[in-house]
Amino acid sequence: MADTQYDLIVVGGGPGGYVAAIRAAQLGMKAAVVEREHLGGICLNWGCIPTKALLRSSEIKHLIDHAEEFGLSVGDVTFDVKKIVQRSRGVAKQLNQGVGHLLKKNKVDVIMGSGALAGGGKLTVTDADGTKSEMSADHIILATGARARSLPGLEPDGKLIWTYKEAMVPETMPKSLLVIGSGAIGIEFASFYSDLGADVTVVEVMDRVLPVEDEEISNMARKAFEKQGMTIHTGAKVSGLKTGSDNVTATVEMGDGKTEEITVDRVILAVGITGNVENIGLEDTAVEVDKGHVVINEWMETGEPGVYAIGDLAGPPWLAHKASHEGVICVEKIAGEKTHPLNTALIPGCTYCRPQVASVGMTEAKAREAGHDVKVGRFPFLGNGKAIALGDAEGMIKTVFDANTGELLGAHMIGAEVTELIQGYMVGKTLETTEAELMEAVFPHPTLSEMMHESVLDAYGRAIHF
């Protein structure tokens, strides 16, 4: 390592870390990224990107299974799970290399190793051989991400009881599967394995699946999943797992107080994540850790001068795009640029199950709890020509407005490609739009986006096509 003195060092090369380093370089800082495993972090290598590649394979299989509805004749459909996994890993590798290219292009140094704070603006880096070296910088950003959380008695073994990592690279296709947790990660895996023919059971401790979503959307999602053949247990808890030679028996405490045993080939744990706060030198600093996450202020500053934290390490929402924006804001504040704190109400959430789910802002219930007098609009996919032409007319778009000011408080969607549509409402919220601008906007025909217009119109009693 020729250089040891930098303006900024980022510990972690995920979507928060590498973006922060590139922005720092753009602002004239001498920047470095310390990464212990792979550029792009969990998101690019073991999360957001490769899971979408997997889901694309299961989506195509689903379409082929229904080819006759489109006037097409297809023989017996088979698949090779190893090739599906191989494609997913190839996509991740391509993007990993792309991140490396971007950092090199922006003259950001990449140091492979594990970084730990050493006090006084210093960072100790330990490489794969155990060799230690020291770097220093006026500013150090911790972007070490998070890992899957486990619960007592429900620990993963990597063979029969999986975390997301094992679930992404199955050597064979399980005939039956239990998914514990119905947040975005759990439901995406449930959708992938179900569409490839596995008998999938989902257990969720909350009273509904996708519990952070609007209640109407959650209810529609559950009906869709059960129609596809999934078994859903809400208000239920897995109290124990017993492994056999090639299966797992789960003890499930149902919502009605009864206990059932469910035997499956494999179990996927999707019960949340916890920040990677260990072994990064926090012990002798003023950095505060709360419930597995580093505490920060609105500028991503920790309690230790010159030390910052971004992304999953700094807590929810655990989303790559949140991490990237935190990285940019943090660096711009350090550089003295005009910037703004991150408004979490403007962070969209997307779940890539089938049907897709996306949202931004307040649910109807949260808006009412906050004291808003609300107007709510809804428009079904069944009323949209493009959705019917696609053969995918299951879903709804829901909008929530303040009845007095017309402010768009929240938008909630379920159906085909809603993860692409949600950005329209996010831009609207960022621009502080009201119903007037949205109603006056011209939406192209025939598109799924027309439903966004109609949902707004419906909130004010003006829907045309339903």
| Catalytic annotation, residues | 445
SS3 string, the chain, reads CCCCEEEEEEECCCCCHHHHHHHHHHCCCCEEEEECCCCCHHHHHHCHHHHHHHHHHHHHHHHHHCHHHHCCCCCCCCCCHHHHHHHHHHHHHHHHHHHHHHHHHCCCEEEECEEEEEECCEEEEECCCCCEEEEEEEEEEECCCEEECCCCCCCCCCCCEECHHHHCCCCCCCCEEEEECCCHHHHHHHHHHHHCCCEEEEEECCCCCCCCCCHHHHHHHHHHHHHCCCEEEECCEEEEEEECCCCEEEEEECCCCCEEEEEECEEEECCCEEECCCCCCCCCCCCCEECCEECCCCCCECCCCCEEECHHHHCCCCCHHHHHHHHHHHHHHHCCCCCCCCCHHHCCEEECCCCCEEEEECCHHHHHHCCCCEEEEEEEHHHCHHHHHHCCCCCEEEEEEECCCCEEEEEEEECCCHHHHHHHHHHHHHCCCEHHHHHHCCCCCCCCCHHHHHHHHHHCCCCCCC
Cα dihedral 125, 126, 129, 132 sign: positive
Report the distance separating Cα 62 and Cα 41, nearest Å: 30
CB 3 within 8 Å of CB 31: no
Q: Which two tokens stand for residue 124?
A: 């100790």
CB 273 within 8 Å of CB 109: no
CB 133 within 8 Å of CB 125: yes
213: left (phi over 0), alpha (psi -120 to 50) or beta: beta
CB 141 within 8 Å of CB 10: yes
Q: Which two tokens stand for residue 230?
A: 């999934």
Tell the residue number behind the tokens 């027309």, with chain if given: 450
Report the distance separating Cα 76 and Cα 320, nearest Å: 39
